[in-house]
Structure 1
Amino acid sequence: MSASNKWRTMPPHHHQQPLCTRTHQIGALLLVTTTFFFTRLLSPCTLSTSVVHVSHPQLQWGQSQLSLKIYVYEPEEINGLNKLLHGRDGKVTEEACLKGQWGTQVKIHKFLLQSKQRTRKKEEADLFFVPSYVKCVRMMGGLNDKEINNTYVQVISQMPYFRLSGGRNHIFVFPSGAGAHLFKSWATYINRSIILTPEGDRTDKRDTSAFNTWKDIIIPGNVDDGMTKTGATGATVVQPLPLSKRKYLANYLGRAQGKAGRLKLIELAKQFPEKLECPDLKFSGPDKLARKEYFEHLRNSKFCLAPRGESSWTLRFYESFFVECVPVIISDQTELPFQNVIDYSQISIKWPSSRIGPELLQYLESIPDEEIEKIIARGREVRCWWVYASDSEPCSAMRGIMWELQRKVLLIVIICSNKSSERDYLLYLEKYHLILYEVLNLLNRNSSRCQGIAGFKDIVEEPIAEFEDYVTSPG
C-alpha cells in the first residue's frame, strides 16, 4: 500500500476478515468461467464454428456514442397510466412530487422527454419507459397499495411490446428503499424488466430483494436542487466551510428509527459530544428543521456518517458531497451507482456496522487534514454524476443512467438473439465478456466478505443462477 493510502487501513481487529487477494480473484474467475461454459454446453443454441475476430463490447463510458432509442409512454395512450402519475383524482402534481427522495421519478421522466435518445416510433425503440410517480402518489394519498397494484397490472396488460419481450425492454423507476415492492405483484409482472432504484439490498421489512444485478441499475438519490444548482447569486444555498472552521469531527443527522446502528451513533455522541454531533432533529411539526439549517449542520463536520436505516442506502451519502464533508458509509450491504467507473474508495470511507464505537472516532481523528482535502477534491470532481440534469451534459446522473441502459441493451440483444450465424457467435463471446465484467463488479462490491475461494463461491453462485434464469426464461 502506498504511503498516501496508509490512512485508509483500518485498525487491526480479531474479527476482521481477510481481504481478497489477486490469487482469490483468479480462482474466482476460473470458477465462474468453468460454471459458465459447463452450463452453456447444455444450451440449445447452435453456434457457428467459423473463426471470427471478436471485439470486446464497449463497456467503458466514452468509448462509443450513445445510440439508444427510448420510447416514453404518454399518459393518454394507456388507460390507468395517468393514475400512476397523478392519483385517482388527478390531484397530485408534478411539482409536489419533485421534492424529497421520490423526486427522481419525476426528473428521469422529464429529462427522457427532452432527450435526443427519445423516439416517438415504437418499432425503432430499444427500450420503453413507463412513467410513474407512484411513491409520491402513495405518500400523498392519491392511491393505496391495492389500487397501485391493480393499476400497474391494468397498464402492463395494454402494452404489446411488453408482451413481445417478456418485459425485458421496459424501464420502471422506484425511487425509495422499498424498490419495486411498491408494486406488490412485481415478481409476477416485471421481474424481467429494468428497474431503476437507489436500493440494491433488501429492506428490513422484506424477505427478498427486487433488485437483480444483471438487469437493474442503481441510481443516485435526489439531492435538493438548491445544493446542486447555482442560483442568481452564482452560489448554492449553503457553501462549504474550510476544514479549520468546522466545529465537529463527524456528524450524524437523522432519526434513530429503532435501528441498531443509528442508536449506537446516538449513544456515541453522548459520550463524545465535542467530536460527534448528533442532534435531536425534528423533520415534521412546528420545530421542523428547515432545508438551509439542515445543510448548515451537515457542513460543520469533516466527516458525515451515513448509517443504514430502513434500507441500506441513504440520501445523506450524496448530500455530503455538496457540503464537501467526507461520507462514511456504515451500511455493509449498500450498492452505489456507476460502480464500474467510479472508485468509491477514493472519495468515501466504509466502516463495518458491527464496529460502531470509540474506535470509529479514533480512526477518523487519525486522518490528517491534507488527506481529507484530497478526498474532498476527488469527490468534487465526480459529484456531478449525482446531479439530475440533461443526458446531453458531459457529466450528470442522466448521462450515467443512459450509459448503463446502453450496456443493458447489449445484454438484451444477446439474450433475445435466436439466429444461428457468425454474428451470433460474436454475440455469444461478447456475452461471456459481459458476464465476467459484471462478476468483477460483483467481487469488488463484496470484497469485505471474501474468505478465499469458498467465500467467492458464496458470492457468485446466486447471481450466476439469477443470470441463467434470466437468460433461459420464456419471453
Structure 2
Amino acid sequence: MGEVRRPTKNRGFYVRMRFLHSKNGRPQEKNFFYRYYKWVLWLSLSLYLFSSYFITKDNKPPSLDKTRVSSASRALYESTNASFLQQPISNPALLNNLKIFVYDLPPNYNTDWLSNERCSSHLFAAEVGIHRALLNSDVRTFDPYEADFFYVPVYVSCNFSTVNGFPAIGHARSLISSAVRLISSEYPFWNRTRGSDHVFVASHDYGACFHAMEDMAIADGIPVYLKKSIILQTFGVKYKHPCQDAENVLIPPYIPPDSVQTALENYPVNGRRDIFVFFRGKMEVHPKNVSGRFYSKRVRTEIWRKYNGDRRFYLRRHRFAGYQSEIARSVFCLCPLGWAPWSPRLVESVVLGCVPVIIANGIRLPFSSAVNWTEISLTVAEEDVEKLGPILEHVAATNLSTIQKNLWDPRNRRALMFNNQVQEGDATWQVLHALAQKLERSYSRGSGVSSQWASDT
C-alpha cells in the first residue's frame, strides 16, 4: 500500500474552503477525490479524539466497585466462578507432586450422558465436576507409567427415571463392571495392583453400594471388584457400615457455583436475615406413609408435626426453584437426614451463610481437616428434634455471632465447592490433597505395593 502524504497547511486550507463554500452562490459539484478525502479526514479525526479520551481518562483501571460484586460475596465469587477466575495449583509440593492418569473411556461411559443438562448440575454431579477439573489440572499426566493414581470416569447418576425424575442407579454395577473389564483388558495397570491405585466416584446416597434404600444397599454391599479401589463418596458415618467398607475419601454433594453466585449477588452473606429457622423439602415419601416411618427415621415428620405453625419456623414441603434465596435469608437451616445421613443442604447452608443444624446421628462430614464443622454448625441428636425451638433460641441468645463469624470465613465455602478447573483449596483440590496422603498405594513410587498383594493371596 503506497505511502499517504500529509497535505501542506495551505493545501489543507484550500481543500477545507472548497468543502465549505460554494462558487457564485451555487454548490459546487464535488468529484470523487474530494468526497473521499472528506470522509478520510473526518474518520481519522474522530478516531483520534475517541481513543485519546479513553487512554487519558484518569489513566487508571476500573475500580473494584464498578464490577458490582458486593464485598461480602467477593471471596466466594473468587472461589467458585471458574469461568472468570482460573487459579491453577500454585504449589504442587502441597500435593507431593501428585500425578493422576485419567482413562479416556468411550463416551457411552460418561459424556454421552451429558445430553441431559441435569447430569452436570444435580446433587450427584460431583462425578462430572471432578472429571472436568482433572482434565484441566496440573496433576494430570498423559504418561500412565509415571502416574500415582488412575481415575476411572464413569457417570452412573445421569440416568433419570421417567417416573419420578430422580437419578436411577440400577445400571451402575453393570456399567462400572464393564469399564473395569475394558481397562483391565487394554491396559496393564489394573491387574498389577488389583485396582488399589484406581479411583472411582460414587456420589449417591449409599456410595458404592449403589442403592437409595439402606437395607437394600447393605444387602448388596460394595461390588467385589471395587473393594480394593479408592472411592470418592458422599456417604460417610462414624460407625462401621458395609457401604464404606473400602478405602474412601468423603466428598461434599455437588452444588452449581453459578446458582450460588446468583443468590449471593442478591443476598450477601452478611445481609439481613428475616427467617429464623428454615427447611424446604420432603416431610414424608407418600401419603400412605404419613408416619414417616420409612423415611428420615421419622425426623422430618416430627419436625413438621411439632413446628408447622410455629412462627419461628419457615417450613415448606414443596419444591421451589429459587429456594437458595430463602437459605440466604435464614439464620438457621435444618439439615435432617433423608434416605441417607448427608444432604445437599449442608453445603448450601455453609456457602450461603446460614448456620447448618445437622440432625443425623453418627454422620461423618467431608474435609474435616479443612472445614472446622464444630465451629460453623450445630448438631442436634435425632431423639432431641422436639427440643429444636429452645435449643436454637438459646444459641441465638448466646454465641450465634461467633458461629456466624466462623461460618463466613471464605476458606470454608471454597473447600465445599467444585469448579471446572482446580483452584487451590476448593473441593477437587481437597480430593487431591486426600489422595496425596495415600501415596503408599502408588505403584510408581515403589512403596511395596507388590508385596502387599502377595500377602493377600
**TM-score class, shorter:** 0.5 to 0.7
Match status 1:157 vs 2:184:
no
Residue 124 (structure 2) aligned to one of 102, 127, 134:
102
Report the Cα distance in structure 1 between the residues aligned to 2:446 and 2:301, rounded to whole angstroms. 46
- Counterpart residue type for residue 315 of structure 1: P
Larger mean CA deviation between 141-150 and 182-191 belongs to 141-150
> Gaps spanning 5+ residues in structure 1: where?
1-60, 77-81, 284-288, 421-469
Say if 1:146 and 1:374 are closer, same or farther in 2 by CA, change over 3 A: closer
Judge conservation of contact 2:148–2:197 (CA < 8 Å) in 1.
yes
Deviation of 1:321 after TM superposition, in Å, equals 1.6
Match status 1:209 vs 2:242:
yes
- Counterpart residue type for residue 132 of structure 1: V
Provide the residue aligned with 1:172 in structure 2. 200
Say if 1:118 and 1:63 are closer, same or farther in 2 by CA, change over 3 A: closer
Match status 1:374 vs 2:402:
yes
Provide the residue aligned with 1:70 in structure 2. 100
| 1:137 partner SS | coil
Match status 1:417 vs 2:417:
no
1:280-304: CA deviations, max 9, x gaps? 31x3xxxxx12x2x11222332110
| 2:243 partner SS | coil
Say if 1:147 and 1:136 are closer, same or farther in 2 by CA, change over 3 A: closer
- Counterpart residue type for residue 375 of structure 2: Q
| 2:264 partner SS | coil
Would you identify which runs of 4 or more consecutive aligned residues in structure 1 move more than 6 Å? Answer: 140-144, 470-473
Provide the residue aligned with 2:84 in structure 1. none
Report the Cα distance in structure 2 between the residues aligned to 1:362 and 1:377, rounded to whole angstroms. 22
Larger mean CA deviation between 326-335 and 368-377 belongs to 368-377
Judge conservation of contact 2:355–2:376 (CA < 8 Å) in 1.
yes
Could you say which structure has the larger radius of gyration? 2
Deviation of 1:138 after TM superposition, in Å, equals 5.3
Provide the residue aligned with 1:300 in structure 2. 329
1:86-144: CA deviations, max 9, x gaps? 5xxx4642744112112211110000000000001111110000001111135479997
Report the Cα distance in structure 1 between the residues aligned to 2:266 and 2:379, rounded to whole angstroms. 26
Report the Cα distance in structure 2 between the residues aligned to 1:124 and 1:237, rounded to whole angstroms. 44
Say if 1:91 and 1:340 are closer, same or farther in 2 by CA, change over 3 A: closer
TM-score, normalised via structure 2 length: 0.66
Deviation of 1:343 after TM superposition, in Å, equals 2.1
Residue 314 (structure 2) aligned to one of 272, 277, 283:
277
Provide the residue aligned with 2:354 in structure 1. 325
Deviation of 1:277 after TM superposition, in Å, equals 1.3
> Gaps spanning 5+ residues in structure 2: where?
1-90, 212-219, 286-291
- Counterpart residue type for residue 365 of structure 2: L
1:256-279: CA deviations, max 9, x gaps? 233300101111222x52111112
Match status 1:224 vs 2:253:
no
- Counterpart residue type for residue 433 of structure 2: W
Match status 1:191 vs 2:227:
yes
Judge conservation of contact 2:440–2:447 (CA < 8 Å) in 1.
no
1:319-359: CA deviations, max 9, x gaps? 012321100100012111111343211011111111111x3
- Counterpart residue type for residue 320 of structure 1: S
Q: Matched residues, percent identical? A: 24
Provide the residue aligned with 1:27 in structure 2. none
Report the Cα distance in structure 1 between the residues aligned to 2:310 and 2:166, rounded to whole angstroms. 43
| 2:399 partner SS | helix
Deviation of 1:197 after TM superposition, in Å, equals 1.0
Judge conservation of contact 2:222–2:242 (CA < 8 Å) in 1.
no
Deviation of 1:63 after TM superposition, in Å, equals 7.9
- Counterpart residue type for residue 228 of structure 2: R
Report the Cα distance in structure 1 between the residues aligned to 2:170 and 2:396, rounded to whole angstroms. 54
Residue 254 (structure 1) aligned to one of 271, 281, 294:
281
Report the Cα distance in structure 2 between the residues aligned to 1:418 and 1:320, rounded to whole angstroms. 41
Report the Cα distance in structure 2 between the residues aligned to 1:310 and 1:250, rounded to whole angstroms. 22
| 1:313 partner SS | coil
Provide the residue aligned with 1:343 in structure 2. 372
- Counterpart residue type for residue 125 of structure 2: G
Larger mean CA deviation between 330-339 and 272-281 belongs to 272-281
Say if 1:145 and 1:324 are closer, same or farther in 2 by CA, change over 3 A: closer
Say if 1:368 and 1:278 are closer, same or farther in 2 by CA, change over 3 A: closer
Match status 1:134 vs 2:156:
yes
Q: Which fold has the larger relative contact order, with Cα–Cα distance below 8 Å and residues 6 or more apart in sequence?
A: 1
Residue 112 (structure 1) aligned to one of 126, 134, 143:
134
Judge conservation of contact 2:129–2:420 (CA < 8 Å) in 1.
no
Report the Cα distance in structure 1 between the residues aligned to 2:113 and 2:126, rounded to whole angstroms. 19
Match status 1:404 vs 2:434:
yes
Say if 1:146 and 1:119 are closer, same or farther in 2 by CA, change over 3 A: same
1:146-170: CA deviations, max 9, x gaps? 6543332222123231121111100
| 1:312 partner SS | coil
Provide the residue aligned with 1:83 in structure 2. 108
Say if 1:144 and 1:356 are closer, same or farther in 2 by CA, change over 3 A: closer
Deviation of 1:240 after TM superposition, in Å, equals 3.9
Say if 1:92 and 1:343 are closer, same or farther in 2 by CA, change over 3 A: closer
TM-score, normalised via structure 1 length: 0.64
Report the Cα distance in structure 2 between the residues aligned to 1:117 and 1:412, rounded to whole angstroms. 14
- Counterpart residue type for residue 430 of structure 2: G
Residue 236 (structure 2) aligned to one of 183, 187, 200:
200
Report the Cα distance in structure 2 between the residues aligned to 1:175 and 1:262, rounded to whole angstroms. 23
Deviation of 1:62 after TM superposition, in Å, equals 9.8
Say if 1:361 and 1:406 are closer, same or farther in 2 by CA, change over 3 A: same
- Counterpart residue type for residue 175 of structure 2: T
1:53-68, aligned counterparts within 5 Å?
A: 64-68=94-98
Say if 1:139 and 1:192 are closer, same or farther in 2 by CA, change over 3 A: farther
Say if 1:263 and 1:185 are closer, same or farther in 2 by CA, change over 3 A: closer
Report the Cα distance in structure 2 between the residues aligned to 1:352 and 1:186, rounded to whole angstroms. 28
Report the Cα distance in structure 1 between the residues aligned to 2:404 and 2:166, rounded to whole angstroms. 41
Report the Cα distance in structure 2 between the residues aligned to 1:187 and 1:237, rounded to whole angstroms. 44
Report the Cα distance in structure 2 between the residues aligned to 1:418 and 1:103, rounded to whole angstroms. 32
Report the Cα distance in structure 1 between the residues aligned to 2:381 and 2:117, rounded to whole angstroms. 39
Report the Cα distance in structure 1 between the residues aligned to 2:190 and 2:414, rounded to whole angstroms. 33
Provide the residue aligned with 1:10 in structure 2. none
Provide the residue aligned with 2:43 in structure 1. none
- Counterpart residue type for residue 218 of structure 1: L
- Counterpart residue type for residue 151 of structure 2: F
Deviation of 1:178 after TM superposition, in Å, equals 2.8
Aligned residues: 339
